[in-house]
Amino acid sequence: MMPNTTKTIGLAGAIAIGIGGMVGGGIFAVLGEAVSLSHGATPLAFLFGGVIALMTAFSYARLAVAFPGPGGTVIYIDSAFGNNLASGSVNLMLWLSYLVTIALYAVAFGAYAHTFFPLESALLHHILISLAIVLPTLINLVSSAFVSRSETFIVGMKLLLLALIILASIPDIDAAPLSPSHWGAFPTIIAAGMIIFVAYEGFELIANASADIKTPERTLPRALIGSVLIVIVLYILIGVVTVSSVPETALEKAKDYALAVAAEPALGHTGFILVAVAALLATFSAINATIYGNARLGYTLAKEGRLPEAFDKERRNEPFVGVLATMALGIVIANTINLTEIAIIGSAGFLLIFALVNAAALKLARAIGSQPLLHLLALLLSAGALLVLLYHTWEENSAAVMIFAGFIAISVLFELLYGRLVRGHFLDRAYH
């Protein structure tokens, strides 16, 4: 099939892609985690994460203009560092990180869906989590365009609902819970911003769509920077409303569905129901889109020889094996790792990948016509944030660090063994 060369996405459409990617399931999943760690400094924690996302978005903007096309992150890292063990491992790590985001959205879906059932049941919780992945998988296999056609509506509905919560809560805002006396320790606030960083994952989807964007040299930087700025403001306002209008004890009890609880003071139980329904739609559509994207990432990696050939098998123009593999592994992760650990692993994975993208932009700065110092700062911030996250997490939740390290080990070992045994001639040329 010949690629579509018509550029159809303008600035507004590109910004919508970025906002939709970020305000997917992340904010519904990690808000309670942010409050439990940073308390009254929750808006500050979101700001810290947003600054790193903003700096990295600048690197993506320069790289996307220089290397347009759907390959995105994979192309940028390969272009800077070549096809070798390190870049191949990172590409697989990217695939695994998207699996973790699917699990995060599925756990959030399960938590919000469970609020509609009167009984507490671990079995029901796991069934709801699994359905959150199985149903979008079936949609991808039958008609992946079904949810994508409604994505603009869902994004608009989410933003309108969040705006309604913010505006309705303004009269009830109490500045006292936001005062420094109610903050957590400063290192913990920074760590909280890094743990919830996964809520900013998604702006890079704009870069993946660069081939379809009108006047990309102007639109891409504006869309990437603009979408991140909008989401930073949105998250900070949500943090202010949540901390100032809801007792922390109530948020702690409803940690997995904190945003629904945050809507109750201003909108009553109706607000709780509206947010819960919006969370179900948002997480469902985010899972569908991530399965779609991750299956195609696996397809691309298989075409390059980095994954087994089975991943490039198609049925009805869909990467059938990639979709099924994404579903199976996503279900396992979502049902065996708790929400806190999933958020930590997802944030660590994307901080690592974004650090490497910033490193790629730094190395290619002259070729892409950019300022090296900006990319160096972005690299130092993202790498430093990853170290802070891992250090803090090791003290509080060493299991999450071990799982993250396991993901890295799997990526390196798979690339090493698969490369040596199956396509050793290719890697021998790359390594030597």
CATH among 1.10.10.10, 1.20.1740.10, 1.20.210.10, 1.10.287.70 for 11-117+147-285+342-431: 1.20.1740.10
- Domains of the chain by residue range: 11-117+147-285+342-431
266 Cβ partners below 8 Å, 6+ apart?
165, 168, 169, 171, 172, 245
What pLDDT score does 432 carry? 37
Task: Encode the chain (432 residues) as per-residue pLDDT tens digits.
Answer: 334 455 677 888 888 888 877 886 778 878 888 888 888 899 999 999 999 999 999 999 999 888 887 667 888 888 888 877 777 788 888 888 889 999 998 998 998 999 999 888 889 999 999 999 998 888 777 755 554 555 667 777 778 888 888 888 888 787 888 888 888 778 888 888 898 898 898 888 888 777 778 888 888 899 999 999 999 999 999 889 888 888 878 877 777 788 888 888 888 888 889 888 888 888 887 787 778 777 777 777 777 777 776 666 665 555 677 778 888 999 999 999 888 889 899 999 999 999 999 999 999 999 998 889 999 999 999 999 999 999 988 888 898 999 999 999 998 888 888 766 665 544 443 433
pTM value? 0.86
pLDDT for position 44? 93
- 276 close to 109: Cβ distance less than 8 angstroms: no
The confidence score (pLDDT) of residue 2 equals 37
How many Cβ atoms sit within 10 Å of the Cβ of residue 158? 22
What is the reported pLDDT for 385?
Answer: 93
